[in-house]
Amino acid sequence: MNYTEIMIRYGELSTKGKNRRSFIDRLHGNVAKVLQDFPELRIHPKRDRMHINLNGTDAQAVMKRLQVVFGIQNYSPSIRIDKDLELIKQTALQMIQEQYQPGKTFKITTKRADHEFEYDTNQINLAVGDYVSDHIPELQAEMRRPDIKIRIEIRFDGAYLSSQTFPGAGGLPVGTAGKAALMLSGGIDSPVAGYLAMKRGVEVEMIHFYSPPYTSEHALQKAQDLTVKLTKYAGHIQFIQVPFTEIQETIKKQVPEGYLMTVQRRFMLRLTDLITKKRHGLAIFNGESVGQVASQTLESMAAINDVTTTPIIRPVATMDKTEIIKIAEKIDTFDLSIQPFEDCCTIFAPTRPKTKPTITKAREYEEQLDVEGLINRALAGIKIINITPFDHYLEQKNSEIEALL
């Protein structure tokens, strides 16, 4: 079939009332971004549907790109023809003939947005159904579970026919929920948390702590590579790397073993919070899962959370490791995540961390430290890299980085 376009049906957009226009605009921008290297396409965002006019471009190639765009409920390769019943019948038949095999069943479903059209949906269903049966008498109609489904939409600018509908990525268009930070380690959980945040429309900026020379270039590269994997859902992502060596060395020297982890995490969160606020982020996402390790007990989360009132969202909090891994495999981050490069927490991990730390004790130990100085020096050393889907890292000039903070 010579499809003329891809018809996109929106997801939850339809429930968003007044915000609808901005949701559609954002989705339009995100769709245009993933299709930017197909210059022949014409994208028409309408109130209930988005139409991508193929202009000769291969439908399969376009649909493959659409799979990663959040905010799309489903899409169909479609053909647009004049609103002429004879032509509609012939086109429907042709579509069915392409898929027909003995024993298969069919159904015609019509929707009519243009109520001026001379036939109503029942009349169209019957007329087209009869025409198909006349030409392929063995083909049975089946209303509940047809093998071949022909959708006909009578719209103002023409009749649209499609026979296949593919599920989209669901969720909300990235950017419609505002901006937030994702605390990205090199592990399995935080990239999954980032994916889930983006699925709800959040634009994420990565914050990654690294501790040279204790952590290698490979560990940093791994976090950046994970970010590249996630850019397919977002277009481009800012990667903010924060030096953590001095803080970790200081804590290791001055804080009792049982509280090493808690105090380190409190510093990470303080820094993330400051950076996020300066960059107008509204929340912090991380990859914590309740009970997974000592630093992720509820007591521990409370002791760490004490340093900020910014909402901390933990998309994988209630998932089992196997459930998280399933998503990591789906988004193709798993193989990278399990590469064995030490991350800063592994190296400074105490052998016996407290599973039930208290806020009072954590604060007490921090009184011995020059918290402000440590924080300011770490902030002064951050680097921001713009990571694009095409692996083209663009290191921003130092002056620009200062302007951002």
Query: For residue 402, with 0-12 CB atoms within 10 Å meaning exposed, 13-18 middle and 19 or more buried, which class applies?
Result: exposed
Residues found in the chain: 405
Q: Judged by CB, which is closer to Mg ion: 89, or 208?
A: 208
Q: Can residue 181 be called a binding residue for ligand ATP (CB under 6 A)?
A: no
Contact indicator for 227, 186 with CB cutoff of 8 Å:
no
Write down the least CB distance from residue 392 to ligand ATP, Å: 23
| Cβ density class 329-360: b for 16+ within 10 Å, e for less | eebebbebbeeeeebbbeebbbeebbeebebe
Q: How far is the CB of 357 from ligand ATP (least distance, A)?
A: 14
**65: helix, coil or strand?**
helix
Residue whose entry in the numeric block shows the structure tokens 């302007």 = 403
In the list 287, 315, 353, 357, the residue contacting ligand ATP (rule: CB under 6 A) is: 287
Q: Is residue 190 near ligand ATP by the rule CB under 6 A?
A: yes
| Full DSSP string of 127-195 | HHHHHHHHH-TTPEE-SSS-SEEEEEEEETTEEEEES--EEEEESB-TTTT-EEEEE--SSSHHHHHHH
Which two tokens mark 273? Answer: 């919070």
Confirm or reject binding of residue 245 to ligand ATP (CB under 6 A).
no
Contact residue for Mg ion among 11, 173, 187, 389 (CB under 5 A): 187
Q: Are the C-beta atoms of residues 194 and 285 closer than 8 Å to each other?
A: yes
Known binding residue 183? Answer is yes
| Binding flag, residue 208, ligand ATP (CB under 6 A) | yes
* Residue 208 contact, options Mg ion, ligand ATP, none, Cβ 5-8 Å cut-off depending on partner type: ligand ATP
Taking the complex as a whole, the smallest distance from the CB of residue 361 to Mg ion amounts, in Å, to 24
Q: Is 51 annotated as a binding residue?
A: no
Ligand-binding annotation for 239, yes or no, is no
Of residues 145, 125, 123, 141, the one with CA closest to residue 133: 141
Question: At closest approach, how far in Å is the CB of 288 from ligand ATP?
Answer: 5
User: Least distance in Å: CB of 385 to ligand ATP?
Assistant: 15
- The minimum distance between CB 209 and ligand ATP, in angstroms, equals 4
Candidates 158, 154, 157; CA nearest to 115 is: 154
Alpha-carbon distances of 54 from 24, 259, 385, rounded to whole Å: 20, 60, 35
Nearer to Mg ion among residue 162 and residue 248 (C-beta): 248
**Cβ closest to ligand ATP, residue 188 vs residue 385:** 188
Question: What Rg value do the Cα atoms of the chain yield, rounded?
Answer: 27
Binding segment for Mg ion among 64-72, 106-114, 178-186, 248-256 (CB under 5 A)?
178-186
- Map 321-374 to HEC letters: HHHHHHHHHHCCCHHHHCCCCCCHHHHCCCCCCCCCCCHHHHHHHHCCCCHHHH
For residue 189, state whether it binds ligand ATP (rule: CB under 6 A): yes
Site string for Mg ion, 225-244 (x = CB under 5 A): --------------------
- Binding residues for ligand ATP, how many (CB under 6 A)? 20
The C-alpha atoms of residue 402 and residue 405 are separated, in whole angstroms, by: 5
- 190 contact choice in Mg ion, ligand ATP, none (CB below 5 to 8 Å, kind-dependent): ligand ATP
Check binding of 230 to ligand ATP (CB under 6 A).
no
Q: List, as residue ranges, the binding site for ATP.
A: 183-184, 208-209, 265, 287, 296
Q: List, as residue ranges, the binding site.
A: 183-184, 208-209, 265, 287, 296
Footprint of ligand ATP (CB under 6 A): 183-185, 187-190, 207-209, 286-288, 292-293, 295-296, 343-345
Footprint of Mg ion (CB under 5 A): 185, 187
